[in-house]
A = this chain, B = another copy of it.
C-alpha cells in the first residue's frame, strides 16, 4: 500500500525561515524611491513597515529565527500535509511519482497566513496599533484579518470593488475576524477620490487598492502601518516554511524531487515553496528543475521586461527591478485573481533572469481542465491559482510516461477552491474564456516605465 500523506508532528515545525538573500548569485538591484528615483533609505520604508521587517528585507543571514509567538500560531494548522497523488498517477498511467504540498488546511484555506502572522507579530512588537492592506478576491485580506485579530491589531482592508460586490464570503470572513472592509476605490483617500472622479463606475483593481492602502498608512502620522501579502523579500522568506517542511516530508517518503513546480503571481507562494529546493541546487549541487507557472493572460515572467518599474498602478510604491508588463497594464479578469499582478517578485525575477528558475505560462482553460482531473482523482478542489501548478505537473507526468522514465514531481497546492466555485461553474458549463495574449496592451504599457539611472 503506497502511503498517501506524510505528516510532521508540530515539534518538527521549522525553527528558522530560509532567506535566499544569502545565496543569491549576484547582489539584488537597489529599491528606488518613486519620487526621487534614488535608492530608498530604511527611513522611507519605515513609514510603511516595522523596522524588524525592513531589516529582514536586507538581511544577508541565511537562517532567520521564527519567533516563538509566531510558531505558536503556526501550530494551529502547521506543519501542513505532503500528499502523494497516487490516484492522479493511476489516472494518468504515469511512471512518475507526483507529490503535492497542501496549504489549504490553514484556517482561511491558503498559504497566505504564513506571512500574515509574522507581519502582525512584528508590528505588534513595535507598538503598531493599526494596519492597512489591499485584497483582490480576499485571500490575503482574510489571512491578515485572522492574524491581526490574534495579535490585537486593528485592520482596514481595501477590497477591489468588483470582488467586494461579487464575492461577499471572503469579505464576511474578514469582518468575522473583526476587520473593517471597504470597497475600493473609496472616498477615503486622495487617490481613490481621483479615480472615482475620472470614472465614477470604476470596478477597482489591485493596483488601485494598493495605492489606497499605502496612502492611508503613509498619511496616518505614524499611527498606521501597511502590510503587503507578496512580492517583497521578507514575505517570500516567511513562506519558506512551506518548502522547508516539504523537504523533511520527502525524506520520510524516501524521495528527492527532479522537478518542483509552483504557481507565481507576486511570487510569495512560489518562492516560499521552491527556494528551499533552490538552496540545495545552489549549495549542495542538486539539479532539481524549478518551475514558476503564471497565467498566459498576465505573463510577466515569460513576456514581461526585466527592468525597473513601480510596484503599484498609482506610481506611489517603490520602484524595483523585476519582470514587469508595465505598472499600468490591466490584466483581463481571469479567475486566478491571485496571479493578476503586473510584475513579479524581484527575487523571483532575478533568478529567472539568471536561469536558475524556469518560467512557463498557461491559459486558464487547460489549467481548469487539470484542476477538474485533480478534483476527480485526489478529491480536493484546488484554488484557480494552484491549477496552474497542477497543469504543469500533469504535463510533466505525461512527458515522463511518453519517455518511459520514472521522475519525482513535486508541486505546491497553495489553497483550496471551495470559495471559487463560480469559476468551476464557468468552466464546466463551457463559458470560461481564454484571452488572446495581450501583446499590444503590454507594448503600450511598457512605454510608461519610469526612467531611472540604474
Judge whether A358 is part of the interface by a CB distance below 8 angstroms: no
Judge whether A197 is part of the interface by a CB distance below 8 angstroms: no
Mark each residue of chain A from 129 to 156: 1 if its CB lies under 8 Å from any CB of chain B, else 0: 0000000000000000010011000000
Minimum C-beta distance from A378 to chain B (A): 7
Q: Are the C-beta atoms of B375 and A418 separated by less than 8 Å?
A: no
Given contacts A3-B10, A168-B421, contact A176 B372 (CB under 8 A): yes
Copies per assembly: 2
Q: Are the C-beta atoms of B419 and A172 separated by less than 8 Å?
A: no
Q: Which of A184-192, A422-430, A432-440 participates in binding chain B?
A: A422-430
Q: Which residues of A contact B (CB under 8 A)?
A: 1, 3-5, 7, 9-10, 68, 72-73, 75-77, 83, 87, 105, 107, 109, 146, 149-150, 168-170, 172-173, 175-178, 372, 375-376, 378-381, 418-419, 421-422, 424-425, 428
Q: Are the C-beta atoms of A176 and B10 separated by less than 8 Å?
A: no
Question: In the complex, which residues of chain B have a beta carbon less than 8 angstroms from the beta carbon of A380?
Answer: 76, 107
Q: Are the C-beta atoms of A177 and B375 separated by less than 8 Å?
A: yes
Given contacts A7-B9, A419-B419, contact A76 B177 (CB under 8 A): no
Complex CA–CA separation, A76 to B422 (angstroms): 25
Q: Are the C-beta atoms of B4 and A7 separated by less than 8 Å?
A: no
Q: Are the C-beta atoms of B10 and A421 separated by less than 8 Å?
A: no
Complex CA–CA separation, A379 to B172 (angstroms): 14
Question: In the complex, which residues of chain B have a beta carbon less than 8 angstroms from the beta carbon of A149?
Answer: 376
Question: In the complex, which residues of chain B have a beta carbon less than 8 angstroms from the beta carbon of A73?
Answer: 379
Question: Contacting A418 at CB < 8 Å: which of B9, B146, B169, B372?
Answer: B169
Question: Contacting A7 at CB < 8 Å: which of B1, B7, B68?
Answer: B7
Closest to A428 in B: B175
Minimum C-beta distance from A13 to chain B (A): 10
Question: In the complex, which residues of chain B have a beta carbon less than 8 angstroms from the beta carbon of A109?
Answer: 418
